[in-house]
Amino acid sequence: MFVNSRKNTLAGIMFTCFLLPLAGCSNTTTESNAALLVQQQQLADIPLFSANIAIDQQPHRLSISIPEQSKIISSAFTEVDNKTLNAAIIVDEHTAKSALALSLNDTWRGSLHIDTDEPLNLNAYMTTGSIDLDINVQQFYKTALDIVMDCGPDCESSVRLREWALSAKEQGWQKLSIPLTCFMQDNANFAHVKRPITLQMGGKGQLTIASINIKATGPSNFQCPDKATLTTTPDILNEYWAVDWWMPRHKEKVAIAQQGNIDLLMIGDSITHGWENHGKEVWQKHFGDIQTLNIGFSGDRTENVIWRLQHNTVDGINPKLAVMMIGTNNTGHRFDKPEYIANGVKAIIDDLAVRLPKTPLLLLAIFPRSASADDKLRINNEQTNVLLKALAQQYPQVEFANFNAAFLTEGGTLTKEIMPDLLHPHAEGYEIWANQLEPFIDQYLKK
């Protein structure tokens, strides 16, 4: 799954220009590509870290951090104050290899950063280069691992490594080579990179690293995900904080569905899931008399809803109404493009139309998140909402509703009184949602 051969992108462009001179190519373009190819062939590899070099002699600055604290790695052992993350220079007892050992102990997010004194211009490396790690994954189950690269002002590009790390756990030292093309995204600029690498971790685990380098060219052994299809490809929620409860909850909901007698189906993520905790009293007050199946799952993205639908989660029911809001985790976890999120929602609607052909669907705009309207996560959700409104108009059984203004001040601010973490409603937020939802419940269930 993780093996591929890197193609010479520039050579491919030049070959295409040779065969198709009318396809927008020119001698100037070909000469420019040729010059860039020569430049790439002359590029030197960039060492970022080597455990064989003393900490105070490293080519770049290393630090570890948790959300509340950051510490420069300046000695053989560095630890954050709450002892949830530490870094130690060790000698591997089996190979006598020097390495940097990273240990996590139940932290939501811990990171290893590599920072440069002078920015790196990586643009010429991005098409044929790679990030190479000499890494040994010792303990890894309830653990997250991503590798992040800065890509300009207010821009980070990440590659998820949890699945790779699970496959490499207890397999000894591994050479992991990730194509830099995996980090390419719209509006990225790698010309002034001061933090070329962050290893972002969470949960509990241990791994050791002997070296990290940026290679100018060479083979890779990691396959970049197809970002355009992630939102529509059915998948379980494989997050370290969900492994204990996600599948048992799915089985529980399937068992409830098989009993039938469901009038209202609620589909979504943690915000819908929250009707069972922070919103429980509000739900009982407004809708407690309605036979409801709540299949909101914390952390779910569109692909996880698709998986659950394909694995019996609505089999045996014929509700009078389905209500769905999904997509904010696509924004928050991966910053998926609005069109990709809309494609995922469309796939869900198409699946529901087959499984529940008589059930109308109320498709809700993704709720606001973050305090201000100019936050990039809020903007991504709002751009998605425009597409969702247009999408709903393509289906006679789908009605679109946008409740977002009810959660915001007149100036568009989301307050912590409504959503304490600026994402999830508490009781007051659920009261607002219930009041907005009530007319639709009356229309479809109490008419």
Torsional sign, CA 78, 202, 181, 381: negative
Would the pLDDT of 11 be above 60? no
Helix H, strand E, coil C: the string for the chain is: CCCECCCCHHHHHHHHHHHCCCCCCCHHHHHHHHHHHHHHHHCCCEEEEECCCCHHHCCCEEEEEECCEEEECCCCEEECCCCCEEEEEEECCCCCCEEEEEEEEEEEEEEEEEECCCCECCHHHCCCCEEEEEEEEEEEEEEEEEEEEECCCCCEEEEECHHHHHHHCCCCEEEEEEEHHHHCCCCCCCCCECCCEEEEEEEEEEEEEEEEEEECCCCECCCCCCCCCHHHCCCCCCCCCCCCCHHHHHHHHHHHHHCCCCCEEEEECHHHHHHHCCCHHHHHHHHCCCCEEEEECCCCCHHHHHHHHHCCCCCCCCCCEEEEECCHHHHHHHCCCHHHHHHHHHHHHHHHHHHCCCCCEEEECCCCCCCCCCCHHHHHHHHHHHHHHHHHCCCCCEEEECCHHHHECCCCCECCCCCCCCCCCCHHHHHHHHHHHHHHHHHHHCC
Is 103:90 a contact under the CB 8 Å cutoff? Answer: no
How far apart CA 267 and CA 389 sit, in angstroms, is: 17
Task: Please name the residue that has the structure tokens 């789908």.
Answer: 398
CA-nearest of 339, 384, 343 to 364 is: 384
Q: What is the pLDDT of residue 68?
A: 87
Q: At 259, list the tokens.
A: 């009993």
Confidence tier at 41 by pLDDT (50, 70, 90) = low
Q: Express each pLDDT in 75-132 by its tens digit.
A: 999 999 888 999 999 998 888 999 999 999 999 999 999 999 999 999 999 999 999 9
Domains and CATH numbers, the chain: 1-42 (no CATH), 44-215 (2.60.120.430), 230-445 (3.40.50.1110)
Q: Express each pLDDT in 383-430 by its tens digit.
A: 999 999 999 999 999 999 999 999 999 999 999 999 999 999 999 999
Would the pLDDT of 147 be above 50? yes
Q: What are phi and psi of 133, to 5 degrees?
A: -125, 135
Q: At what angle do helices 338-355 and 302-310 cross, to 10 degrees?
A: 20
Residue of 10 and 241 predicted with greater confidence: 241
Q: What is the pLDDT of residue 32?
A: 52
Residues in Cβ contact with 30 at an 8 Å cutoff, skipping those fewer than 6 apart? 14, 17, 18
What is the mean pLDDT of the segment spanning 49-56? 94
Q: At 255, list the tokens.
A: 């068992």
Q: Express each pLDDT in 283-310 by its tens digit.
A: 999 999 999 999 999 999 999 999 999 9
CB atoms within 10 A of CB 174: 16
CA-nearest of 179, 172, 181 to 210 is: 172
CA-nearest of 268, 97, 122 to 189 is: 122
